Amino acid sequence: MRHLLLGAALALALPFAPAGAQPAETFDHWPKHVPNFPSTGGGGIMIGEYRPVVHGTTCSTDFTATEPGGKVYRNRVVFDAVPTQGGILCTNGKWQSLESDAKGTTPFRVFIRDGIAYASPAS
């Protein structure tokens, strides 16, 4: 009886994963981040100089957004810095223009571990 109770207690202590649950993302399997890339918002906008740095509970970077015609906008993005998988996940990004009142959010995420940045795969 004691073994049965111990077995039941151990079974309850194990992590429970609902049926059909997706495995956790492995962030260091994402592609390596490059500072210049097409905007997740589309429209031919190119993002440049995007180099997030962790500052305590946030990650941030100033960056450019360049229209196909060449007009350049200066912006800043601030993410929540979430410790995970031995690194920091920069997530829940909020950007704002450094030149106007334009602002928004981004689905883009960056994972930083051991000085290497990885970018979330394209959606």
On whether the pTM is more than 0.85, the answer is: no
pLDDT at 55 over 60: yes
| Full 3-state SS string of the chain | CHHHHHHHHHHHHCCCCCCCCCCCCCHHHCCECCCCEECCCCCCCEEECCCCEEECCEEEEEEEEECCCCCEEEEEEEEEEEEECCEEEEEEEEEEECCCCCEEEECCCEEEECCEEEECCCC
Single-letter code of the amino acid located at 98: L
pLDDT at 10 over 90: no
Higher pLDDT, 18 or 6: 18
